[in-house]
């Protein structure tokens, strides 16, 4: 076994350790906190690179996979193992999470520089990273779940980091509770899986893990439950966990609200890593999802579970993209964009397999982190302004931010050939096109791609081109969260470029946003080969195959259409003031309102689930106060009555009797003690009497 | 008979030999080296020597008792086995504690003699534990008894002490005579003085009147030793009159050995003559006789204790009551009940030494042992009264103290001993009577914790060694209550 497999635990343990040290230190040791957190991530990143290098070689079954585990908890006769697995899926995620995480940590040093709870922030960040890395390396659904919950907890803590803002506190609760609904499904799936297979280990050296052929076949043979094959039912329950965490419809509502947290948090948790955990979960349990599949023409498996994944993903993709069109908060646009892109990933997993979905996950992590951090830089530069209508013309004030943001936007929109998003999205669309069940997801995906290009162009145009529409005197009001340093408030209220500690990570991320696509082009599908362990070679002719080429051309056309439309509507005709109506709003007020209000999903939930919950709560309250409370009161009065009765009995019967009894006992004692005369003659006589009495007693008994 | 191997005798009787040597050393040292020193110094030095001797004997017996075979010398004169060795260890430990609480005593200036007599008494008890032959039993019993008589009389400044000793001696002499008479009858019936052979000789003879007389005299002889009603009359006087450490020794070590040998005589020697003490199923034998004695002891001991005003007399009557409980263990006549009995009697002995230790200190400080003298003890000597709390609650049988678990073992063994819960009547009586016993234990504790001292009473200075011994005892009482397995594994 390679050393890195044994020591893989160090990667999540280091940030955990850092978080612990930060937590026990007194404020304000900013340097210590930041360097511990960043240092732990940097070492984690180096270790991840080693792990990644180890997985480049091929293992016994075409793919490198080694596990390490030991006994942890005993239930009855069975041991729960704790352990980790190193395979390409783990390695690529490790590299991505540690690297992006490290950059975001560095960015946060600048972004949070003036926050008084700087240490707390880094403590939570490090704890989050630890949980996320635990999710990634876990070779056991139980350990996975534990880490998953750590991630959920830290997400809650970080969204509500500025808990003095009621909206942040509410968003934190919303995120926690909404994802908890999904977690319930995951927990049920986990328990059921354990009941079925007797293990929660994904892979074991003996090939008896719950994701390995032996157990999967056993589950396939099990009688169906409630009309589902057992394996499908378990897969869907686990997928429910992924739906919650990855913000899929209908549990997406928390993700946009989560933007109340500090922007680096949005970038780290709600763009690059945590939300991807759901996608990663599906990828991890892919063998379960694809169990008993029929294969499509392209070799992608089709099962009920994967079909559900595909549909949920496709609907999420278009649904969220359409909402993003009509949002005005820079982070909310990105949030809905994230939801939409997560939908793409799910769809990719459903129609094409692990490699397709994961490729988009990785590229998306980079460019979305870039976009979020870029938006953070914009917000920072515009004095905490988040409304895109009040920005404009920022390319002059913040050139670096503009260029990197532009790169991220093109990557997200899927600008052909050059940008990573194009290749990864194209692969998903390609797989969807070949999906044998239905073509609808493909069209939904195309429509989503069009909207993506459109809303990103809209955002770019509103933020960076034209004239600055910010109103200096207003910008002071929203400042409560960040105490600006004296020099910045002394300056004019024009936007300013962010410091290097923030821009350098952006530049690095921008580089990856562009380049990363080339590891998974149809001509050189390295990523696919790496994850699945299949052989591949460099073959430019694949690019020009009719199916592939046509699709690439079509998708390019869609992207250009979107970009053109966006530019036509928002770039050419710049809005004059912040208060002016949106172009779309003027043209289609009804649809715009519908989109701006996110299809009224929140209101719908408010009217149904929350109202229902409130009603149920009211009912319970009523029941508690009136019915149960009444019962308790009744019991109380009965008890009081009985107590009164008992007291009477006690005082007048028992106590009297007891007192008499005690008196009798005492008197008896006194009488008996009088036997004790102190005269030794009597004593000796007693011996004689005793002898005679006992002998008589025994002899009499013998005759009887 | 095999040729006598003296080396083997020496080896098997090594703990006894060590104690004998200690007696000589203590006596010699006190008469030579320590001559002219202060009483306290003599006491401390002598106690150190005695404790060392006892401790080494105990360590020797303890280390050899693990996994050892049974050795039987001269057809039962000296039987060395695992259980007897462990009881010897217990006896030696109890003696050590007795010596530790004596060191602060001011009742005598004959320190060497006092300590030697305690050791000699221990020696007698150790031989008693090892004996399976009537002659050896009697000789050992007499060695122990004679030492105890003298120890009772040791406070020469107190007329009560001499009076108590005389009563004790007369009573003891008489019951010894009865015992000897019974032994001679046993020898006459069975033709042997060895317990297992007596049992063989008795088998098939039924319960003839001579045997019954022998049984009753045995009950009387040992009933005297353990202070069971109606052979208890010496006990309150002796406990009250004797120097308190002597009383502790009578109440503790002597009781452990006596119960051990009593159970041995009945279970080994009177096999087949058990009879039955089952309610409505009475058959003549030794169990009904013991049952009557047990019932009487429990009732009389507990009820009489209620009206006592002297704590030492109270402890004497409580000892009588406890003897009644312990007889249940003898009655049970099963391995479970005898190990429950030994657990009970050993933990009881530890507790009672502790209680007497507290009384010694209070007596020295206040000049008396009346319950009134304990008033306000919790403020005058908090540590001491905490120990007293532990000891008295354990005697009453409050969990998680050793007294509770001992009672639990003992009563459950007795309930399970006979078919159809035959001994339930005695157990119910025992439980009812132990409820009564709380009354008088709590009277003492109430004085210590609730009542105020009569006048402005100064804090009581507790001698360090005594407090150490008492704290250790209290800790043991709690420990054996929480982890009885530490003790039961050897029983």
Between B323 and A465, where is the model more confident? B323
Q: What pLDDT is attached to residue B67?
A: 56
Work out the average pLDDT over B19-30: 92
| H-run or E-run covering A294 | strand A294-295
Contact flag B292-A697 (C-beta cutoff 8 Å): yes
Checking if the pLDDT of A485 tops 60, the result is no
Minimum distance, in Å, between the CA of residue A661 and any CA atom of chain B: 11
CA atoms within 13 A on the CB side of A628: 7
Longest CA span, chain A: 131
Q: Helix, strand or coil for residue A82?
A: strand
What's the rounded Cα separation, in Å, for the pair A103 and A42?
A: 9
Q: What pLDDT is attached to residue B106?
A: 74
Contact flag A702-B284 (C-beta cutoff 8 Å): yes
pLDDT over 90 percentage in chain A: 15
What's the rounded Cα separation, in Å, for the pair B387 and B358?
A: 8
> Which of A443, A419, A415, A417 lies closest to A429, judged by CA?
A443
Q: For residue B461, how many other CB atoms are within 10 A of its CB?
A: 12
What's the rounded Cα separation, in Å, for the pair B308 and B314?
A: 6
Q: What pLDDT is attached to residue B4?
A: 66
Q: What pLDDT is attached to residue B118?
A: 93
Q: What pLDDT is attached to residue A477?
A: 42
Q: How confident is the model at residue A702 (pLDDT cuts 50, 70, 90)?
A: low
Find the angle CA(B52)-CA(B55)-CA(B60) to the nearest 5 degrees. 125
Burial class (CB in 10 A: 0-12, 13-18, 19+), A403: middle
The tokens describing B352, both together, are 């009672």
Least trusted range by pLDDT, from A242-251, A387-396, B110-119: A387-396
Minimum distance, in Å, between the CA of residue B376 and any CA atom of chain A: 25
**Token pair 């979905």 in the structure block, residue:** A357
Contact B214, B302 (CB under 8 A): no
Least trusted range by pLDDT, from A319-333, B12-26, B61-75: B61-75
Q: How confident is the model at residue A627 (pLDDT cuts 50, 70, 90)?
A: confident
Residues in chain B: 491
Minimum distance, in Å, between the CA of residue B154 and any CA atom of chain A: 20
Q: How confident is the model at residue B25 (pLDDT cuts 50, 70, 90)?
A: very high
Work out the average pLDDT over A327-331: 87
Work out the average pLDDT over A84-109: 89
Q: What pLDDT is attached to residue B456?
A: 66
Nearest CA in chain B to A702: B284
Q: pLDDT tens for residues A38-51?
A: 999 999 999 999 98
Nearest CA in chain B to A678: B237
> Which whole-number Å values give the CA distances from A93 to A152, A275, B437, in the listed order?
18, 13, 74
Q: For residue A472, how many other CB atoms are within 10 A of its CB?
A: 11
Cβ–Cβ pairs < 8 A, chains A and B: 88
Nearest CA in chain B to A680: B167
Work out the average pLDDT over B44-52: 90
Contact B353, B97 (CB under 8 A): yes
What's the rounded Cα separation, in Å, for the pair B61 and B80?
A: 10
Q: How confident is the model at residue B1 (pLDDT cuts 50, 70, 90)?
A: very low
Mean pLDDT taken over chain A: 83
Among B168, B215, B219, B230, most A C-beta atoms within 10 A, so best to mutate, is B230
Residue from the list B283, B305, B308 with its beta carbon closest to the beta carbon of A701: B283
Contact flag B175-A698 (C-beta cutoff 8 Å): no
Contact B104, B360 (CB under 8 A): yes
> Which whole-number Å values give the CA distances from A586 to A466, A581, A583, in the listed order?
20, 6, 5
What's the rounded Cα separation, in Å, for the pair A50 and B474?
A: 62
What's the rounded Cα separation, in Å, for the pair B177 and B218?
A: 10
What's the rounded Cα separation, in Å, for the pair A83 and B351?
A: 54
Minimum distance, in Å, between the CA of residue A687 and any CA atom of chain B: 6
Residue B356: alpha-carbon gap to chain centroid: 13
The tokens describing A270, both together, are 């709600």
> What is the crossing angle of helices B159-190 and B234-241, to 10°?
140
Checking if the pLDDT of B472 tops 90, the result is yes
Alpha helices in A112-206 (DSSP H): 118-137, 141-159, 166-197
Work out the average pLDDT over B268-287: 77
Residues from chain A contacting residue B285 (CB–CB below 8 Å): 698
Domain boundaries, chain B: 6-488
Instruction: Kindly state whether B304 is in contact with chain A, defined as any CB-CB distance less than 8 angstroms.
Output: yes
Minimum distance, in Å, between the CA of residue A656 and any CA atom of chain B: 17
List the 111-140 stretch of B: residues with Cβ below 8 A of A.
none
Q: Tell whether omega for the bond before A250 is within 30 degrees of 0, i.e. cis.
A: yes
pLDDT over 70 percentage in chain A: 94
> Which of A334, A371, A397 lies closest to A506, judged by CA?
A371
Residues from chain A contacting residue B284 (CB–CB below 8 Å): 698-699, 701-702
Checking if the pLDDT of B20 tops 90, the result is yes
Nearest CA in chain A to B301: A669
> Which of B289, B217, B218, B229 lies closest to B258, judged by CA?
B218
Checking if the pLDDT of A234 tops 50, the result is yes
Q: pLDDT tens for residues A469-479?
A: 766 544 444 44
List residues of chain A with CB under 8 Å from any CB of chain B.
Answer: 662, 665-666, 668-670, 672-673, 676, 678, 680, 682-684, 686-687, 689-691, 694-695, 697-699, 701-702, 704
Q: How confident is the model at residue A646 (pLDDT cuts 50, 70, 90)?
A: confident
Q: Helix, strand or coil for residue A416?
A: coil
Residues from chain B contacting residue A695 (CB–CB below 8 Å): 209, 212-213, 216
Least trusted range by pLDDT, from A97-111, A525-539, B142-156: A525-539
- 3-state SS string over A570-612? HHHCCCCCCCCCCHHHHHCHHHHHHHHCHHHHHHHHHHHHHHH
Q: What pLDDT is attached to residue A487?
A: 41
Least trusted range by pLDDT, from A73-77, A495-499, B207-211: A73-77
Question: ipTM > 0.95?
Answer: no
pTM, full prediction: 0.56
What's the rounded Cα separation, in Å, for the pair A308 and B304?
A: 86
Residue from the list A665, A694, A702 with its beta carbon closest to the beta carbon of B219: A694
Work out the average pLDDT over B253-270: 89
Checking if the pLDDT of B471 tops 60, the result is yes
Contact flag A676-B304 (C-beta cutoff 8 Å): yes
Work out the average pLDDT over B286-297: 88
Core vs surface per residue B447-456: b (16+ CB within 10 A) or e = bbbeeebeee
* Sign of the alpha-carbon dihedral angle for A357, A362, A363, A369: positive
**Token pair 């002059």 in the structure block, residue:** A396
Contact B336, B240 (CB under 8 A): no
Find the angle CA(A40)-CA(A44)-CA(A46) to the nearest 5 degrees. 120
């Amino acid at each position: 076994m390679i050393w890195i497999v044994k020591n893989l635990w160090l990667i999540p343990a280091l940030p955990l350790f850092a978080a612990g040290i930060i937590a026990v230190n007194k404020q304000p040791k900013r340097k210590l906190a930041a360097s511990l957190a960043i240092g732990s991530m940097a070492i984690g990143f180096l270790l991840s690179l080693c792990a990644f290098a180890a997985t480049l070689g091929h293992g016994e079954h075409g793919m490198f996979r080694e596990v390490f585990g030991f006994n942890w908890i005993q239930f009855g006769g069975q041991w729960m193992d704790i352990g980790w697995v190193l395979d390409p899926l783990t390695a690529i995620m490790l590299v991505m999470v540690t690297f992006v995480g490290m950059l975001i940590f560095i960015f946060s040093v600048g972004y949070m520089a003036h926050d008084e709870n700087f240490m707390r922030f880094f403590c939570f960040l490090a704890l989050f990273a630890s949980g996320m890395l635990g999710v990634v390396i876990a070779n056991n659904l139980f350990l996975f779940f534990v880490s998953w919950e750590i991630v959920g907890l830290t997400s809650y803590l970080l969204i509500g980091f500025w808990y003095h803002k009621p909206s942040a506190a509410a968003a934190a609760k919303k995120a926690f509770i909404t994802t908890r609904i999904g977690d319930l499904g995951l927990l049920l799936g986990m328990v059921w899986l354990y009941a079925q297979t007797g293990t929660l280990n994904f892979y074991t050296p003996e090939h008896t893990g719950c994701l390995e052929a032996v157990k999967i076949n056993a589950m396939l043979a099990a009688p169906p439950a409630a009309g589902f094959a057992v394996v499908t039912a378990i897969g869907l329950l686990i997928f429910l966990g992924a739906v919650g965490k990855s913000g899929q419809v209908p549990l997406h509502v928390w993700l946009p609200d989560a933007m109340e947290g500090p922007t680096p948090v949005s970038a780290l948790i709600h763009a690059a890593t945590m939300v991807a955990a759901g996608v990663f979960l599906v990828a991890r349990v892919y063998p379960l999802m694809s169990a008993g599949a029929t294969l499509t023409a392209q070799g992608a498996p089709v099962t009920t579970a994967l079909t559900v994944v595909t549909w949920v993903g496709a609907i999420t993709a278009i649904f969220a993209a359409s909402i993003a069109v009509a949002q005005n908060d820079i982070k909310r646009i990105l949030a809905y964009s994230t939801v939409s892109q997560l939908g793409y990933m799910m769809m990719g997993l459903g129609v094409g397999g692990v490699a397709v979905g994961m490729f988009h996950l990785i590229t998306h992590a980079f460019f979305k982190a870039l976009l979020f951090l870029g938006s953070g830089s914009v917000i920072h530069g515009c004095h905490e302004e988040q409304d895109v209508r009040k920005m404009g013309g920022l390319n002059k004030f913040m050139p670096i931010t503009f260029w990197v943001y532009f790169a991220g936007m093109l990557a997200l929109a899927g600008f052909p050939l050059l940008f990573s998003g194009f290749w990864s999205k194209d692969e998903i669309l390609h797989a969807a096109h070949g999906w044998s069940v239905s073509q609808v997801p493909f069209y939904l995906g195309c429509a989503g791609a069009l909207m993506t290009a459109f809303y990103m162009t809209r955002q770019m145009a509103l933020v960076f081109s034209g004239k600055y529409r910010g109103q200096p005197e207003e910008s002071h009001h929203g400042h409560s969260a960040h105490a600006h340093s004296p020099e910045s408030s002394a300056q004019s209220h024009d936007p300013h470029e962010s410091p290097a500690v923030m821009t350098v990570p952006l530049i690095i991320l921008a580089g990856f946003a562009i380049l990363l696509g080339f590891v998974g082009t149809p001509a050189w599908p390295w990523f696919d080969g790496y994850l699945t362990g299949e052989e591949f070679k460099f073959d430019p002719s694949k690019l020009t195959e009719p199916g592939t080429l046509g699709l690439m051309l079509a998708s390019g056309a869609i992207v250009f259409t979107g970009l053109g439309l966006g530019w036509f509507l928002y770039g050419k005709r710049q809005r004059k003031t912040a208060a002016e109506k949106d172009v779309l709003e003027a043209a289609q007020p009804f649809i715009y309102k519908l989109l701006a209000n996110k299809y009224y999903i929140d209101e719908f939930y408010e009217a149904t689930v929350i109202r229902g919950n409130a009603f149920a709560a009211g009912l319970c309250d009523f029941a508690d106060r009136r019915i149960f409370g009444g019962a308790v009161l009744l019991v109380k009065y009965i008890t009081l009555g009985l107590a009164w009765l008992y007291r009477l009995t006690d005082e007048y019967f028992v106590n009297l009797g007891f007192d008499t009894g005690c008196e009798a006992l005492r008197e008896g004692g006194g009488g008996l003690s009088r036997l004790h005369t102190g005269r030794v003659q009597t004593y000796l006589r007693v011996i004689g009497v005793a002898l005679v009495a006992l002998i008589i007693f025994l002899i009499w008994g013998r005759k009887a | 008979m095999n040729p006598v191997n003296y080396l083997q005798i020496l080896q098997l009787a090594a703990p006894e030999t060590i104690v004998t040597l200690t007696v000589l050393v203590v006596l010699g040292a006190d008469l030579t080296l320590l001559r002219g020193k202060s009483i306290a110094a003599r006491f401390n030095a002598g106690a150190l020597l005695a404790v060392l001797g006892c401790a080494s004997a105990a360590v020797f017996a303890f280390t050899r008792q693990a996994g050892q075979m049974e050795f039987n010398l001269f057809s039962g004169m000296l039987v060395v086995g695992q259980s007897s060795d462990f009881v010897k260890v217990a006896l030696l430990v109890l003696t050590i504690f007795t010596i530790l609480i004596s060191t602060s005593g001011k009742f005598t200036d004959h320190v060497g003699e006092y300590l030697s007599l305690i050791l000699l008494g221990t020696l007698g008890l150790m031989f008693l534990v090892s004996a399976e032959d009537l002659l050896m039993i009697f000789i050992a019993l007499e060695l122990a008894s004679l030492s105890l008589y003298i120890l009772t009389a040791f406070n020469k400044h107190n007329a009560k002490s001499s009076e108590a000793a005389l009563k004790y001696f007369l009573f003891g002499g008489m019951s010894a005579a009865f015992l000897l008479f019974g032994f001679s009858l046993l020898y006459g019936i069975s033709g042997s003085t060895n317990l297992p052979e007596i049992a063989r000789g008795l088998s098939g003879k039924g319960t003839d009147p001579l045997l019954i007389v022998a049984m009753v005299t045995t009950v009387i002889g040992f009933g005297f030793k353990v202070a069971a009603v109606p052979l208890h009359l010496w006990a309150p006087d002796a406990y009250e009159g004797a120097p308190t450490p002597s009383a502790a020794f009578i109440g503790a070590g002597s009781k452990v050995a006596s119960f051990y040998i009593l159970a041995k005589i009945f279970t080994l020697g009177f096999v087949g003559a058990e009879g039955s003490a089952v309610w409505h199923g009475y058959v003549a034998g030794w169990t009904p006789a013991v049952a009557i004695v047990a019932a009487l002891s429990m009732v009389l001991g507990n009820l009489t204790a209620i009206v006592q005003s002297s704590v030492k007399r109270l402890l004497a009557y409580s000892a009588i009551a406890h003897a009644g409980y312990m007889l249940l263990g003898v009655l049970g006549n099963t391995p479970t009940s005898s190990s429950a009995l030994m657990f009970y009697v050993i933990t009881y002995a530890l507790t009672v030494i502790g209680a007497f230790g507290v009384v010694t200190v209070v007596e020295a400080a206040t000049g008396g042992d009346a319950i009134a003298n304990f008033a306000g003890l919790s403020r005058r000597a908090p540590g001491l009264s905490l120990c007293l709390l532990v000891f008295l609650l354990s005697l009453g049988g409050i969990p998680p103290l050793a007294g509770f678990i001992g009672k639990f073992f003992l009563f459950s063994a007795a309930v399970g001993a006979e078919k159809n819960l035959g001994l339930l009547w005695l157990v119910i009586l025992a439980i009812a009577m132990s409820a009564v016993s709380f009354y008088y234990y709590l009277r003492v504790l109430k004085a210590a914790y609730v009542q105020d001292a009569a006048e402005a009473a100064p804090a009581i200075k507790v001698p360090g060694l005594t407090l150490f011994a008492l704290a250790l005892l209290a800790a043991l009482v709690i420990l054996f209550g929480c982890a009885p397995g530490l003790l039961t594994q050897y029983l």
